[in-house]
């Protein structure tokens, strides 16, 4: 479920003309986003960006990735830890996300821990139980649950259009159900924004579209941003832990900075 960055270009062959159509959502998604009562989007294009549903303003979260520390324990089972920072675009409050994982030999299982703190406070505002397939975020007195439903690879489809062959590009993505205090109130669709660069449209980065079956006030939107960013820190930590070799950190499976202690 690790987010991917996909670049598509127009295919040109001598003597043939092809039209490229780029879509923001996976082709397998059969819902209708326009039927949602309320919605907002978070894009990940070099930074997490909140798309204001009323003004379409793009508000950055100023997300700062910390180094990934790999700590060697006496039994040679490493512990991984990473601390990131972001600013909620609605409340303008700065938060720290602390993610860690280690193997617990007593229960023979990997233990993931993700918490969120406000600014320099030691008080835990949010913590997660579960894994990326089904995670519960305890945030103050409220409970947010993110349950993965589907996961789809990118797809390119050839379609006969009125003016000739069309190549339709669909991004990597999937869906989650989202619950608030044990009541399902909507879903999230992962796709990829369509960006026009130099007259060429292509998928760049990742989009998360939140679709709600009821109206969400600003305070709850603020909380959804905080808890989902905390959930994404769990997604990243799981990916690094299972896919990244810290002793050979080159490649997409590892973050930019790794420090071994």
More confident residue, 3 or 58: 58
Least confident window among 10-24, 73-87, 184-198, 246-260: 10-24
**Is the pLDDT assigned to residue 5 strictly greater than 80?**
no
More confident residue, 8 or 101: 101
**Contacting residues for 261 by C-beta, under 8 A, at least 6 apart:** 69, 70, 71, 72
The C-alpha atoms of residue 152 and residue 252 are separated, in whole angstroms, by 20
Q: Out of 115-119, 122-126, 160-164, give the one with best mean pLDDT.
A: 115-119
- Return the pLDDT at 103: 84
- Return the pLDDT at 8: 31
Would you place residue 187 in the very low, low, confident or very high pLDDT band (cuts 50, 70, 90)? very high
Q: What percent of the chain lies above the pLDDT cut of 90?
A: 67
- Please state the rounded mean pLDDT for residues 160-166: 83
- Return the pLDDT at 76: 62
* Tokens 């991004």 belong to residue: 171
The C-alpha atoms of residue 168 and residue 158 are separated, in whole angstroms, by 6
Separation of CA 173 from chain center: 10
CB 209 within 8 A of CB 49: no
**Contacting residues for 21 by C-beta, under 8 A, at least 6 apart:** 159, 166, 167, 168, 169
Strands 155-161 and 164-170, sheet pairing: antiparallel
- Please state the rounded mean pLDDT for residues 72-82: 74
Tokens of 86: 């972001």
More confident residue, 225 or 260: 225
**Is the pLDDT assigned to residue 120 strictly greater than 80?**
no
> Domain-by-domain residue ranges, the chain?
19-260
- Return the pLDDT at 75: 60
Q: Sign of dihedral through CA atoms 225, 177, 189, 38?
A: negative
Least confident window among 14-18, 111-115, 185-189: 14-18
- Return the pLDDT at 249: 80
Instruction: Please name which of 227, 238, 211 lies closest in space to residue 25, comparing C-alpha atoms.
Output: 211
* Tokens 């969120």 belong to residue: 116
The C-alpha atoms of residue 49 and residue 60 are separated, in whole angstroms, by 4
pLDDT digits (tens, 9 = 90+) for 9-61: 333 333 445 788 999 999 999 999 999 999 999 999 989 999 988 899 999 99
């Amino acid at each position: 479920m690790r987010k991917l960055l996909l670049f598509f270009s127009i295919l040109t062959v001598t003597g043939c003309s092809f039209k490229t159509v780029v879509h923001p959502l996976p082709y397998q998604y059969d819902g209708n986003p326009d039927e949602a009562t309320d919605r907002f989007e978070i894009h990940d294009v070099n930074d997490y960006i909140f798309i204001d549903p009323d003004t379409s303003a793009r508000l950055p979260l100023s997300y700062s990735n910390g180094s990934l520390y790999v700590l060697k324990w006496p039994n040679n089972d490493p512990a991984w830890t990473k601390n990131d920072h972001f600013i909620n675009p609605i409340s303008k409050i700065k938060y720290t996300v602390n993610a860690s994982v280690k193997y617990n030999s007593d229960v023979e299982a990997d233990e993931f821990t993700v918490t969120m703190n406000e600014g320099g406070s030691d008080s835990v505002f949010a913590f997660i139980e579960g894994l990326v397939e089904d995670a519960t975020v305890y945030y103050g007195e409220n409970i947010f649950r993110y349950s993965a439903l589907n996961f789809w690879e990118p797809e390119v489809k050839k379609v006969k259009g009125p003016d000739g062959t069309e190549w339709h590009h669909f991004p990597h993505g999937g869906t989650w159900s989202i619950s608030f205090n044990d009541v399902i109130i909507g879903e999230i669709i992962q796709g990829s924004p369509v960006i026009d660069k130099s007259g060429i449209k292509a998928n760049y980065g990742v989009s998360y579209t939140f679709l709600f079956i009821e109206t969400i006030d600003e305070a709850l939107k603020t909380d959804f941003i905080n808890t989902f960013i905390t959930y994404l820190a769990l997604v990243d930590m799981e990916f690094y832990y299972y896919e990244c070799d810290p002793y050979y950190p080159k490649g997409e499976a590892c973050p930019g900075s790794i420090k071994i202690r």
